[in-house]
Amino acid sequence: MAEFRYEAKDASGKRQDGTLSAGNADEATSDLSKRGLTVVAVTPVGGQKREAAPSGLAAIFSGRATAKGARVKLKELVIFTRQLATMISAGIPLLECLEILCEQTENPGFKAVLEEIVLDVRSGTDMSSALAKHPRVFEDIYVNMVRAGEVSGQIDEILVRLAEYQEKTQKLRQQITSAMTYPVISLILIFGIVLFLLLVIIPKFKEIFAEFGVQMPWITEKLIQFSGWLAGSNVGQSIPGWVFIFALPLVYVLLVLVRKAGPGRAVTDTMVIWTPVFGGLIRKTTIAKFTRTLGTLINAGVPILEAIAITRDTSGNYVFERALQRVHDSIREGETFAVPLKESKVCDSLVVNMIDVGEETGDLDAMLLKIADNYDEEVDVAVQSMVKLIEPLLVLFLGGAVGTIVVAMFMPLVAIIEKLQSGGL
């Protein structure tokens, strides 16, 4: 043990100085942090002063990342988990595995997280406890599966299962994201084209029609009035219409804020899950997620009540959270899984029956994973079908919008040409 002199601040910002014994400077810093102190500097007695790592804005300006607020992509976490499982299976000690992965990690935020985990594990902390200190990176399912692996002594196998779970979750996200990319981009382009025609082209035709004094059809008048409303050029109009259109994203922000409230979240989640077409897709996606999460946790040896609680909190939908809470209460009282799930009416009868069979045979985890695989395929088919349906609808919408504008502008032009030919103008 060595002696270290430290400079730190307590929760109120008051400076604290003193000395302590520790194996090295990292352990000294860790001990001070556990006391609730913010370390300013650690100096070996008789040695060179060691500054504490910067945090917050100081970390940004110094170019060093901190673990707090680190953002780690699911793909990075999958690679980390798979590599860790492989190295542990090869017989490499856990601490050495973490040090190697920390060294080769390119994401500065993730690197900072792994450095803290290495420090905790080196000081004797369980890996699961070290991971739990970083909930933004490692979710409850990750921490609890690692804890189950530590208890059973099969952490390498648990990590493999966890990596497989993450890979399938990532695949499902990518399927939905890639499928929705084309419709979203198409809608933006269509919106831009129509807006350009309304704000730039139609006003020029309006000037031509006014110059020739031609009698405009009803559809042309309404289209010109709408164009004027967008541009804010109509008589007595104070606010351009484009302001309201570009303010539409604020509606989304408002819905997000409403959803954060308890009653608002219940209402919005219920509306979304029962919305025609999209509601069915969201429901299937949520079923696939919760059955895979629960099946993976039970398969890893996590107690069923704890596994259901974790699955409930990570389901992402109020309706399913309430259904899983009923299941949790039912099992705690010695009842079955399937009955309260059936009463909630959020899952198809096939799901309920398969879970009932899994309970009776003692293979609930395997049955849940089969349900997840089945619904993953259904989601894939549903997404592909939706994309095939959206494509012609987008073409029809664009053709209808542009066609209406062309016809509305062409009809007065025909009248002008006829008058010119007859010498009426």
Q: Which residues pair with 21 in a beta bridge?
A: 3
Measured distance CA(215)–CA(405) in Å, rounded: 17
Burial class (CB in 10 A: 0-12, 13-18, 19+), 226: middle
Query: Distance between CA 195 and CA 197 in Å, rounded?
Result: 5
Radius of gyration of the chain (CA): 31
Structure tokens of 200? 């730039």
pLDDT value for 13 = 59
What is 106-154 written as a DSSP string? --HHHHHHHHHHHHHHHTT--HHHHHHT-TTTS-HHHHHHHHHHHHHT-
Residue-level pLDDT at 246 = 81
Residue 228 backbone phi and psi in degrees, to 5:
-65, -35
pLDDT for position 234: 79
DSSP label of 12: T
Note whether 369 and 296 are within 8 A (CB): yes
Query: What's residue 60's pLDDT?
Result: 37
| Contact predicate 81/163, CB 8 Å | yes
Distance CA 141, CA 160 (A): 14
d(CA 59, CA 37): 18
pLDDT of 354 reads 92
Copy the structure tokens of residue 330.
């039912």
4 in helix, strand or coil? Answer: strand
pLDDT of residue 55: 43
Q: Which two tokens stand for residue 142?
A: 């990750």
CA 56, CA 41: separation in Å to the nearest integer?
16
135: phi then psi, degrees, rounded to nearest 5: -65, -20
Partners of 43 in beta bridges: 5
Task: Confirm whether pTM is higher than 0.85.
Answer: no
- The residues near 130 (Cβ < 8 Å, ≥ 6 apart) are 116, 117, 120, 121
Q: In a structure prediction context, what are the per-residue pLDDT tens digits for the chain, which is 425 residues long?
A: 677 777 776 656 567 778 888 776 667 777 777 777 766 666 666 544 444 444 443 443 334 455 566 678 888 888 898 899 888 888 888 888 999 998 888 888 888 889 999 988 888 888 888 888 888 888 888 888 888 888 777 788 888 888 888 888 788 777 777 777 877 888 888 888 888 888 888 888 888 888 887 778 888 888 888 888 888 887 777 788 888 888 887 887 887 777 776 677 788 888 888 887 778 888 888 898 889 888 888 888 888 888 898 888 888 888 898 999 999 999 988 888 888 888 888 888 888 999 999 988 988 889 998 998 898 888 888 878 877 888 788 888 888 888 888 888 888 888 788 777 776 55
